[in-house]
Amino acid sequence: MQLNLSKPICFFDLETTGINISKDRIVEISILKVHPNGKEETYTKRVNPEMKIPAEVTLVHGISDEDVADAPTFKDISKEVYHIVKDSDLAGFNSNRFDIPVLAEEMLRAEIDFDMKNTKSIDVQTIFHKMEQRTLSAAYKFYCDKNLDDAHSAEADTKATYEVLKSQLDRYDDLENDASFLAEFSSRKRFADFAGFIAYNKKDEECFAFGKHKGKLVTEILDKEPGYFGWLLNADFPLYTKKVLTAIKLRAFNNKLS
C-alpha cells in the first residue's frame, strides 16, 4: 500500500553516542523522503560528533571514533538536512521520544530554528506496540516476512521502518492512510516539547510534567516565581525545551500588554 500523503514525509533514523537527549550527539543520520507522488529520495551521512563514542555504544551500532574522524560535523551538514526535512512530516521508530528530540537539539546547536508546530510526527514503534508489542527486527519479520540483517545500520533501519508502516496499513483496517490520523494514533501523551517536560492538559494549556510544579500551568508558575524561569534556562534541560518555555513566557508577556 502506498502512503496517502498531502505533503512529503521523511522517515529517518539516527545512530548516536548514547541516549541522553541533551548531551549525546549524532554519528550517523539517514533520511528516506517520500513524496506524495511516490517518489523517494535517500540521504545518509556519517557525522563527527566531536566527542568520544563509548565502546559499549560502538558494540551496538558498529561506528567507532575512527569511522567518523574525517566525517563532517552536524553543523557542517545542518543546512542540507534542514532543507530536506523543512517541508515534510516526520516518521521513525521510537522517533517521538528519541530521534526527533535529538535532531532538534543538534539543529538548535547549529543555530537553525527547528520547529515542529506545523509538522506531524508518526512513530511506527508506537503503532507496533499498540498492535503487537515487539521490536523493529521482529516488526520487520512479522509484517514484511523479512530478516533485518543490518539492524542498527541507520539506512537499513530507516528503510525497514518505511516498509513496516506500509505493511501496517495493509494489515489493519482501522488504521487510516492519513498522516494526521497516524500522527495522532502513534502519539502518547501530548507534549509541547520533545523531551516531555512540558505537557498539554485537557484544555490545551501548557503544564509542567516534572518536579515540584508537576501538573501546574507554566504561565502561572513563571508569573508567581520569575526566578524559576532563570533556573530552568541555566539548568541542564534540552535546548528545545528552553525554546518552548521562552515562547510561552513571551506569549504571556504580550498578552498582558494587549
* 123 and 229 together in one domain: no
Out of 161, 185, 209, pick the residue that ends a domain: 185
Cβ contacts of 248-254, under 8 Å, gap ≥ 24: 248/192, 248/198, 248/206, 248/218, 248/219, 248/222, 249/222, 252/219, 252/222, 252/223
CATH of the domain at 27: 3.30.420.10
**pTM across the whole model:** 0.68
* 177 and 229 together in one domain: no
Residue 254: what pLDDT?
84
Residue 133: what pLDDT?
55
The reply to whether 16 falls in a domain is: yes
The amino acid occupying position 238 is: P
* Structural domain that includes position 219: 198-257
pLDDT along the chain (258 residues), means of 10: 93 95 95 96 97 94 96 97 96 93 94 88 90 80 88 88 95 93 83 88 91 92 90 90 92 80
Residue 91 and residue 88: Cα distance in Å, rounded? Answer: 10
Out of 163, 185, 207, pick the residue that ends a domain: 185
* 205 and 228 together in one domain: yes
Q: How many domains does the chain have?
A: 2
* 38 and 76 together in one domain: yes
The reply to whether 216 falls in a domain is: yes
* 181 and 209 together in one domain: no
Residue 117: what pLDDT?
80
The reply to whether 217 falls in a domain is: yes
Residue 8: what pLDDT?
97
Residue 190: what pLDDT?
81
* 149 and 115 together in one domain: yes
